[in-house]
Amino acid sequence: MPASADPDGSARSVGPLDGVRVVDLTSVVMGPLATRMLADLGADVIRVEAPGGDIIRHYEPMRSPAMSAFSVNLNRNKRSVVLDLKSDEGRAAIGDLIASADVFVTTMRRSALERLGLDATSVRAVRADIVHCVANGFGSDGPSADRAAYDDVIQAASGVADLFTYAGGDPQLVPSIICDKVVGLHIVPAITAALYRRAMTGEGDAIEVPMAEVMAAFNLVEHLGGKTFEPPEGPFSYARITTPHRRPRRSADGWVVVMPYTDVNWADFFGWVGRADLVDDERFASQRARIAHSDELYSMLDEFVADVTTAELIDFCVEHSIPASAVLRLEHVDDDPHFAAVDLLAHETHPTEGPYRVTRDPIRFASRDGSEETVRIHAPRLGQHTAEVMSDLGWSEDRIAGLGGAPG
C-alpha cells in the first residue's frame, strides 16, 4: 500500500484526496461534517477558528474544555489554527493560508465574508484557481439571502416540518439535525466535482450550497408527484409515503418494519399471513393500485404481524427476498451483529481525551485495499497546529506569537 506522511510526519495510507489542501472556515455541524468527509478522504484540512473556538466545541458532554463529543468526532483528521480575523495579522494569516490552498469552504454569511475580504471575488484574487465554496441558509439571489439559519429553521423553511401534515398530523421537527447533515453531504460532491474540473481545465470555481434550496429539492424528489406535469396529472405528494399507517409494527415480541414491494413480494406475504384472497383483490393487484389504496393496505399490516415473533417474520422475509427489519434502538447500534461485523464504531485512544469511539467512514475504495484508518490525526485541541502551519508558510516565531489565541 502506498503511503504518504501526515503533517506530523507519521506514515499513513493515501486517500483519494491526498495532496489537496482545504481551508475550513465553517462552524457547528453542516460545514465541519463536510470537511471531515474531505479529511477522511485524505485532504489536508486546516480548521480555522476564532480565539474562543467554534461553539460546537463547548457543547456537553466533554471531558475537558473545548473538546466536546461533537468536536472529537467532527474534527478528526484536521489541523486546528486559531486566527482573529478582525486583526490585521489574522487577516494576513488567512490570506497566506488561502494562497497555499486548493479549496476554501465557509458557512459564514455573505455580508461577513465581504467585510473580511473573503468573498469569492476577493479570495480568487489571491489564488485564481481555488475552489471557493459558501454554504448558507438561503441562496444569494433570493430575498432571504443573508438571514441567519440553523437546522430547525431550515426544516421549517424547506417544507421538512410540513411533511408531517400530509400524514394527518401537525408540523413537526425531525428529531435529527437532518438539514445540516444532508446539506453537508451535498457540499462534498460539489467541491470534488469542482476539483475534477480544475484538474481538467486549470480553472477554479465559486460554489454556492444553499440549505433551503437543497432541502426543498430533496423533499420534492417524491412529493412533487402529479404536479410534475403541466397541467397536473395527479395530486401533490406520494400517497405511499404520507399515509399515517406507514410506520413500524408491533410484533409479538418487538417492533418491525416490513415492506413487501413487488407483486411477487405481496403474493408471498399475503399467502404467509393466511390472506391469499387479497392477491386478486383489485385494490392490491398492482403497484399502481396498491399506492392508490395505501391507507387500506398499510392499515392491515398491524394485524398481519401482531401474532408472529420478530425472528419468525424476518426469517420468512429473508427467505422470500422481502425487505424487512427489526427496529434498531439507536443507542444499541454497537450490539447489532451487522454493524459489529463491519466495525462501524471503532475504538480509539485520544492523546488528551482518553478512550473514545468514532463512527468510521463507511465508504470503501478498492484502491485502498481496505487498509485505511479511520483516524490519522485525532481531533486537535483548539489552535494546536497554529505554529506548525504558519511556520510552514514562512512566518517567524515572533510573528506567530503576535497572532494571539490558543498556543500552537
28-51, pLDDT tens digit by residue?
A: 999 999 999 999 999 999 999 999
The whole-model pTM stands at 0.92
CATH superfamily of 3-218+364-401: Crotonobetainyl-coa:carnitine coa-transferase; domain 1 (3.40.50.10540)
CATH topology of domain 249-326: formyl-coa transferase, domain 3 (3.30.1540)
3-state secondary structure the chain: CCEEECCCCCEEECCCCCCCEEEEECCCCHHHHHHHHHHHCCCEEEEEECCCCCHHHHCCCECCCCCEHHHHHHCCCEEEEECCCCCHHHHHHHHHHHHCCCEEEECCCHHHHHHHCCCHHHHHHHCCCCEEEEEECCCCCCCCCCCCCCHHHHHHHCCCHHHHHHHCCCCCCCCCCHHHHHHHHHHHHHHHHHHHHHHHHCCCEEEEEEHHHHHHHHHHHHHCHHHHCCCCCCCCCCHHHHCCCCCCEECCCCEEEECCCCHHHHHHHHHHCCCHHHHHCCCCCCHHHHHHCHHHHHHHHHHHHCCCCHHHHHHHHHHCCCCEEECCCHHHHHHCHHHHHCCCEEEEEECCCEEEEEECCCCCCHHHCCCCCCCCCCCCCCCCCHHHHHHHCCCCHHHHHCCCCCCC
90-127, pLDDT tens digit by residue?
A: 999 999 999 999 999 999 999 999 999 999 999 999 99
The domain locations on the chain are 3-218+364-401, 249-326
329-377, pLDDT tens digit by residue?
A: 999 998 999 999 988 998 999 999 999 999 988 888 887 766 667 899 9
